[in-house]
Chains A and B, each alone.
Chain A
């Protein structure tokens, strides 16, 4: 016996709220297969609905601490996997991963652009902060050009972290708040265990 279409309540048809309700029911296993396929077709045709889908799952994965390492999920693979009841997996070897330009497009479907950033990355190349060789330090009067050595990378990273801590600390004294992103600054305020001592 074929499953009858559940006629959605009038206010849900074609509306964002309706799709949200369908999405929630779908993930709870309470949506008919026919309606699920309808929602899927609507999502494939509507970027805003794909964004809703991505947000729903990304937030859920974040709350469960189960984000894929690379932070990217192939949306269509997730959809098809859900329909087939196969656990979705991040496509780490996908086309998206190999072509960084596409990160911007994929990321637009997610909460924010993915920023690939390890602590203190030199601009224009991956890896450590460049630290100049001692002999390239100039005499009086002139600023030097950049050095090329990777020596002292750990020391440079530690010093940069120290500058960042002093920056945050002094902003407190200056009364200069993190205007638009205060919670981020609060959460990311770095603390050097070496700077702390038992009383």
Chain B
């Protein structure tokens, strides 16, 4: 059980072992439930079935709108669209259930505070409100309700600059299982009747790649380079891709290696909780993207330089 910490001074902040438990909880239990979230102003409802066995397997089933199932096993993801007669495979999924917690929880703590809030109930389960507050304006915060028994996040809100809720995911039902029937993880349709499509991956790169030709020389505080790679574009060009992360938030910086010949994307734009900022540097289209405030995206773009 999560016990509210007590003691002098910063008693409202949670200890780092809580943070570790919360971040690892997704993969350490088997469970099934229903969650809701907002998409383009509408409420979407999905069923989730997760097994912690075999490295973690997850099945998501849409409960409204187009019939969709999304299956994850390790970092491989498959999408089933029976109404379109499609099965799309070859998708990769960053393992959100991270077997390894951010290697340096203290790095996260340098830029966020984790504060205990009130007791609450979500999906009929007792949970603890936790505020993840950014220490500056270069990242968003979260309001969570953490299940007291399992440390699973039952309700998560992404909080914007003015305290507005930019996105929310909330369980309306959750059942924790000791053992999950593997049959529950199988697709609920005749897969043989679907046309199989494979996503072509055009990405080359690796964490810490040194083959990059651009750098963000002064990234915003706390963000460090975690990936450098390149995408092959359909028109034959290449697009360099850098990812910077502070442990909770990730920012992508894209630089099209071809000089801009058409109409570049300029300025600020957003899609749901994702923000993007377009610019042109030395004649190249630059696009910076992430679930972070615009000042962080602009700082990335303005600090982008060619490597010597």
Contact = CB atoms under 8 A, between A and B. Distances in A.
Contact of A175 (B98, B269, B283, B302): B98
6 contacts: A111-B43, A112-B38, A112-B167, A156-B263, A187-B70, A198-B198
B299 interface: no
A195 B200 contact: yes
Interface in B169-215: 169-170, 172, 195-201, 203, 205-207
A160 interface: yes
A196 B159 CA distance: 34
Interface string B258-269: 001011111111
A187 B77 CA distance: 11
Contacts of A65: 64-65
Given A164-B289, A166-B241, A183-B169, A191 B264 contact: no
Q: Quick one: which of A129, A177, A183 has the most chain B CB within 10 A?
A: A183
Contacts, number: 276
Interface of A: 58-59, 62-63, 65, 67, 70-71, 104, 107, 111-124, 129-134, 137-141, 143-147, 149, 151-152, 155-156, 159-160, 163-164, 166-189, 191, 193, 195-199
Contact of A138 (B153, B254, B280): B280
A139 B164 CA distance: 39
A58 B43 CA distance: 9
A137 to B, nearest CB: 5
Contact of B245 (A134, A140, A176): A176
Interface in B56-109: 58, 60, 62-65, 70, 72, 75, 77, 79, 86, 88, 90-98, 102
B274 interface: yes
Interface residues of B, number: 105
Interface string B37-50: 11111111110100
Nearest to A132: B266
B14 interface: no
B36 interface: yes
A144 B280 contact: yes
